[in-house]
Structure 1
Amino acid sequence: MPHSIDYGKLMHRAMRGLIQQVLCDVRDKGLPGAHHFFITFETTHPDADLADWLRERYPNEMTVVMQHWFDNLEVTDEGFTVTLNFGDSPETLYIPYDAIQTFVDPSVEFGLRFESQDEAEDEDADDPNEDTALDEQGIEVEEDGAAKPRDAEVVSLDSFRK
């Protein structure tokens, strides 16, 4: 089996590490200036933990805002726990990094968007009628030995810029 570098997976790991570091800084020092976060996550993720009424109201995904009032921020290598206020009702959420779809700090026009594994698999699905193979470097080649053109996966860090 050919060895190849999974840049998409490495990039996602690095971006989740960035989120972890930012949240650690916020936990230790608070939110500086006008910084605040919009975090969209999959409520269906098996490790996501939220109140039943929130899961019923947001059966697939939910966007939370960390800005003026949040409490009990705990950050681990796998995710974070935070208590947020929902209409004068504080609720504690656990959000695994793998469940995060977007992480945005609009105060500095910064945003990260993660593709789900399903989206990535759909995009990578090969045409079953197409005859291709992998060469020794893991590059797809056609029957005549020519390299098959592939679209590069580009991860945009500034997709939320105005």
Structure 2
Amino acid sequence: MPVEELRYDKMVEEALRGVVRDSLVFAAEHGLPGEHHFYVTFRPHHPDVEMADHLKARHPDEMTIVLQHQFWDLDVTEDGFAVTLSFSGKPERMVIPFSAVTGFADPSAKFGLQFQAIPGDDDEDDMEIDAFDPEPSRAPAAADVGDKPEPQPPGEGGGDGNVVALDKFRKK
């Protein structure tokens, strides 16, 4: 099969999804140090997401989970991760492929990534990297201990909060 073009957008996406993967591997092996916690936003109706139907019904388009104090059995593979979280006091197991992830943030480090569909691309699961505000404007799903996550005051945490948008480098 001849190569028509170099798909830098796909290469960058895979590299940045590796940051998400490596962060989750670290958390699975060592726990989360200090104030670190993750917001993971994903598409619940992605064909490879496995989670309770009642949760999919409550979050039809997008869902954000928080990995902070209480999460269990975090397993990370090359293609995705599985975790058990508490929703209204009931443990729920979720399996989430990285191709379903639309956002990842660690607000304590002022770090975030957002992935969106590439216009005109035939593969719906391929994503594009865009600028992301690591402090979500809407509250994430109450997945940490069954309660709402504690909001982070603006300006706290380390890092400089810079996120680079790659749109200006894309072929139009």
Q: What's the TM-score bracket when you normalise by the shorter of the two chains?
A: 0.7 to 0.9
Amino acid of the residue matched to residue 9 of structure 1? K
Greater fraction of residues in helix: 1
Question: Aligned residue for 1:111?
Answer: 112
Deviation per CA, 1:95-154, whole angstroms, max 9, x where unpaired?
Answer: 10000000000001000000124xx228xxxxxxxxxxxxxxxxxxxxxxxxxxxxxxx9
Residues in 1 aligned to 2:87 and 2:72: alpha-carbon distance in whole angstroms: 13
Deviation per CA, 1:29-66, whole angstroms, max 9, x where unpaired?
Answer: 00011000111100110000110110111112111000
Residues in 1 aligned to 2:11 and 2:48: alpha-carbon distance in whole angstroms: 21
Question: Aligned residue for 2:11?
Answer: 10
The TM-score normalised by the length of structure 2 is 0.69
The TM-score normalised by the length of structure 1 is 0.73
* Pairing 1:1-162 to 2, within 5 Å after superposition: 3-117=4-118, 120-121=119-120, 155-156=129-130, 159-160=133-134, 161=161
Q: Which residues of structure 2 form unaligned runs of 5+? A: 122-127, 135-160, 163-172
User: Percent identity, aligned pairs only?
Assistant: 41
Residues in 2 aligned to 1:101 and 1:38: alpha-carbon distance in whole angstroms: 11
Residues in 1 aligned to 2:69 and 2:88: alpha-carbon distance in whole angstroms: 13
Q: Radius of gyration: which is bigger?
A: 1
- Secondary structure of 1:115's counterpart equals strand
Amino acid of the residue matched to residue 41 of structure 2? T
Which aligned segments of 4 or more residues in structure 1 are displaced greater than 3 angstroms?
Answer: 154-162
Residues in 2 aligned to 1:64 and 1:97: alpha-carbon distance in whole angstroms: 14
Deviation at 1:5, TM superposition (A): 1.3
Deviation at 1:155, TM superposition (A): 4.2
CA-based RMSD: 2.0
Q: Which residues of structure 1 form unaligned runs of 5+? A: 123-153
Residues in 2 aligned to 1:64 and 1:80: alpha-carbon distance in whole angstroms: 13
